[in-house]
Amino acid sequence: MDSIKFISLFSGAMGLDLGLEIEGFNPSICVENNEEAINTIRLNRPNLPILNDIYTVSAQQLRSISLIEGDIPLVVGGPPCQSFSVFGKRDGIESTNGKLLFEFFRIIDELRPQTFIMENVRGLLSMPVIPKKNNKNGQDINSEYYSKGSLLKLLFNKFNDIGYHIDCFIVNAVNYGAPQIRERIICIGNRFGLDANFPLPEFSNRIEDNLPPFKTLGEVIGQGFVDHCPEVLNFSPRKLKYLAMIPPGGNWRSLPLEIQQESMGKSWYLKGGRSAYWRKLSFAFPSPTVVTLPNHAGTSMCHPSELRAISVGEAAAIQEFPQTWKFSGNTTAKFRQIGNAVPIRLGIVSGKTVKDLLFRINQGERDTTQSVEGYRIIHLRPHVRTRSYWKNGKALAGDISYYENNQQINLFELENNVYERS
């Protein structure tokens, strides 16, 4: 089967694109403005054309340079998500990054591809068009624009207006074989009125699901792992002092009360679990979401058996980048690219979904029962809990499962790669 050409927008370090390549797709052109990411693309794909300004790129340019004849099968992209993350400032489309969401829409409108994939953070689901805090002058603006989720509704309606049906899947990479807990929304659009068939979860940590267990950190960076990029953004001596007191699989809850308060300062009084504070990873569970700065106290990604943050090579392995993939820039730049990347696994599953959709389109299948207008939002077990850090007044460390009544379990046997339950 010939590879299927596609156009990549907001390509970053090409995580989504690499997953699609595994499924038989072939990027014909990338649009990316981050210099470090551009250099990474050139380092690994020297013959791949790159444009660097999404605001000025035109459909005519993309068609001409990509050399795709006839209908464009697929356009993909993950518009920068900082404006929509629940951890960001949440300035929505009033920020520069928020406006990029509608640049993606513009390109789809101009190119009219058969299908598209738009990836983003889950926080986009609840984002209003205009945050209420920004209406300081009591301006007369449609009140719906301040409601939770109005931004995505506006975007979907705009896609519907130009003839695209949208399926929005809220998923977690770990459910599909990634060694990482990472929630994302995958929006798949097509102009033929067809429903996309995203697979149901294929792995689980619940026995009743009767599925293979989650892939663990130990399977990826445990015994036998060869680190091709051991660069580290390490913790400060002060942070290392506290992390030295944390057992594998523990966090700030494992510290004595007075040390908790001393080490966390005002953060100790905040509400919520703060589970990533002084967190030491465990080989027996999937990795938490890979972040751009693994050496922050509040988003700590401390190696399970070594007193240091995870390395560039380890972070890339968790995201399932090929070992041959090289990242350009200094250590900070490399972590930024890896942390912002779409997990390769979600690219693979999205590719399978779109490949099925394109097959049906090429077979002449069309929706004959309803208008192409419309959208679906489907949750596929996106919120996954794997372990507990605190229960019944006790701090929990080690290999403690969130399910199975929090009994001690051994999910990963390092020596022979066999899963066991005790």
Q: Are 360 and 223 in contact (CB under 8 A)?
A: no
In a domain, 414, yes or no: no
Residue 174: give its domain's CATH number.
3.40.50.150
- Identify the residue whose tokens are 């058969």: 114
* Residue, of 208 and 398, whose pLDDT is higher: 208
Same-domain pairing of 237 and 104: no
Residue 412 binned pLDDT confidence (cut-offs 50, 70, 90) = very low
Active-site residue identified among 30, 81, 168, 187: 81
In a domain, 420, yes or no: no
Q: How many CB atoms lie within 10 A of CB 152?
A: 24
Strands 4-9 and 74-77: what pairing?
parallel
Same-domain pairing of 312 and 226: yes
In a domain, 412, yes or no: no
Same-domain pairing of 371 and 390: no
User: How far apart are alpha carbons 361 and 354 in whole angstroms?
Assistant: 10
Q: Does the pLDDT of residue 421 top 80, yes or no?
A: no
User: How far apart are alpha carbons 33 and 290 in whole angstroms?
Assistant: 22
Residue 81 annotated as catalytic:
yes
Same-domain pairing of 329 and 225: yes
The pLDDT tens digits of the residues spanning 299-313 come to 999 999 999 999 999
Same-domain pairing of 241 and 323: yes
**DSSP label at residue 310:** P
Q: Using CB atoms within 10 A of its CB, is residue 367 exposed (0-12), middle (13-18) or buried (19+)? A: middle
Same-domain pairing of 183 and 232: no
Same-domain pairing of 401 and 373: no
In a domain, 413, yes or no: no
Q: Does the pLDDT of residue 94 top 70, yes or no?
A: no
In a domain, 209, yes or no: no
Question: How large is the greatest C-alpha to C-alpha distance in the chain, in angstroms?
Answer: 68
In a domain, 415, yes or no: no
Q: Does the pLDDT of residue 142 top 70, yes or no?
A: no
* Residue, of 138 and 345, whose pLDDT is higher: 345
Q: Does the pLDDT of residue 243 top 90, yes or no?
A: yes
Helix (H) or strand (E) holding 171: strand 165-172
In a domain, 418, yes or no: no
* Res 407: pLDDT: 42
Same-domain pairing of 329 and 354: no
Compute CA 412 distance to the chain's CA centroid, rounded to the nearest angstrom: 25
- Identify the residue whose tokens are 């596929």: 380
Q: The domain containing residue 264 runs over which residues? A: 217-336+385-406
As a whole number, the mean pLDDT across the chain is 88
Residue 298: give its domain's CATH number.
3.90.120
User: How far apart are alpha carbons 6 and 12 in whole angstroms?
Assistant: 16
Average pLDDT over residues 359-366: 94
User: How far apart are alpha carbons 115 and 117 in whole angstroms?
Assistant: 7
Same-domain pairing of 46 and 151: yes
Same-domain pairing of 58 and 171: yes
Question: Could you tell me the two tokens for 9?
Answer: 């927008």
In a domain, 208, yes or no: no
- Identify the residue whose tokens are 């929505």: 92
Backbone phi, psi, residue 15, to 5°: -60, -50
CA angle 368, 370, 376 (to 5 degrees): 125
The pLDDT tens digits of the residues spanning 18-51 come to 999 999 999 999 999 999 999 999 999 999 999 9
Give the chain's domain count: 2
Q: Does the pLDDT of residue 418 top 60, yes or no?
A: no
